[in-house]
Amino acid sequence: MSSKKPLLSVRDLVVEFTTERGLVRAIDGISFDVRHGETMGLVGESGCGKSVTSLAILGLIPSPPGRITAGSIQLNGRELVGLPESEYRKIRGSEISMIFQEPMTALNPVFTIANQMKDVLSRHQKIRGKQAKNRAIEMLELVGIPSPDKRINEYPHQLSGGMRQRVMIAMALSCNPKLLLADEPTTALDVTIQAQVMEQIVKLQHELGTAVVLVTHDLGVVAESCQRAVVMYAGRIVEQAPIIPLFKNPQHPYSAGLMASIPRIRADKVLELPTIPGTVPDLLHLPEGCRFADRCQYADDRCHKEQPSNKIKDNREVACFHPCGEA
């Protein structure tokens, strides 16, 4: 374990939603750290709680119906859970920023880019007018938007999806945040644009020293740009590890299944891409034991009855009774 204090520290976080069918625990006791300046992948399939986690960090769980019922989120040692709204607003966009999945709709259609960027700058950096505009142009240039002094006066609908996502990145980084939450930032984009946008995020992260939490289900993106990854399944963290060991030697059977199902150039021709059998359990009717047990080839009686606790070893954590790669 590194002696340096983590930038963000999430401990035993529980988020619950009241639905018509009952109380749903979207996140059930997750703990992880984000270190200064690192890129951490938050991986998992749809509905596993990735986005809820990032919204929880920003204090934006829609309430009602959702709320954080237990646990803590600390940014540089400062507790964020239970922070008054007025204090939280000062953090949003300045210390923690977020990029959303849908660049088409995430910007306000009836205001110019300049107007929206200046709002953020005047809110957090107290710079206005010409000065704010210059700063915004500077940021747009940094994210690789051609002729930013002209583009800044345009409306979002005049820009392409990739350009809009760049504007979002520029806006998110304009107040020098310490942490950037990127919720599937490239999912809605073309593959070529995806690569460019990711490249931009990674490049800026190095330049500005911002830590990034990259929420995605795209393992390829994670492998390329993250140092560490957290794998989530049905509201829990099943494994967290540095990237290379995680991809080379996944320990949780779920991670192993994910890695196996990545399309890749293989030595032998396979007729069918391997998949993980079964489906994700309904969050309303979770199994008593390990949540992955029903789909796991290694599962035994104990897996169905007890929840496995985290085993920490060599900088990695896995929640499994029968981790792969161990006898």
Binding site for another protein (CB under 8 A): 58, 60, 64, 89-94, 97-98, 100, 102, 105-111, 119-120, 123-124, 155, 157, 168, 171-172
What number of CA atoms fall less than 13 Å from residue 190's CA on the CB side? 8
Comparing CB distances to another protein, the nearer of 170 and 293 is 170
Decide if 2 contacts 35 (C-beta within 8 A).
Answer: yes
- 22, two tokens: 């009952």
Comparing CB distances to another protein, the nearer of 69 and 105 is 105
User: At its nearest, how many Å lie between another protein and the CB of residue 116?
Assistant: 8
How far is it, in rounded angstroms, from Cα 298 to Cα 253? 8
User: At its nearest, how many Å lie between another protein and the CB of residue 9?
Assistant: 21
Comparing CB distances to another protein, the nearer of 95 and 317 is 95
What number of CA atoms fall less than 13 Å from residue 276's CA on the CB side? 22
User: At its nearest, how many Å lie between another protein and the CB of residue 152?
Assistant: 14
How far is it, in rounded angstroms, from Cα 232 to Cα 33? 14
- Closest to 29 (Cα-Cα) out of 48, 17, 42, 13: 13
Comparing CB distances to another protein, the nearer of 64 and 263 is 64
From the number of C-beta atoms within 10 Å of its C-beta (0-12, 13-18, 19+), residue 155 rates as middle
H or E stretch covering 230: strand 228-233
Looking only at the bridges linking them, the beta strands covering 179-183 and 211-216 are: parallel
User: At its nearest, how many Å lie between another protein and the CB of residue 103?
Assistant: 10
For 69, the 3-state DSSP assignment is strand
User: At its nearest, how many Å lie between another protein and the CB of residue 108?
Assistant: 4
Decide if 42 contacts 227 (C-beta within 8 A).
Answer: no
User: At its nearest, how many Å lie between another protein and the CB of residue 266?
Assistant: 39
User: At its nearest, how many Å lie between another protein and the CB of residue 146?
Assistant: 21
Helices (H), 106-214: 113-124, 129-142, 148-151, 161-173, 191-208
Comparing CB distances to another protein, the nearer of 93 and 257 is 93
Comparing CB distances to another protein, the nearer of 88 and 298 is 88
How far is it, in rounded angstroms, from Cα 80 to Cα 35? 17
Comparing CB distances to another protein, the nearer of 120 and 222 is 120
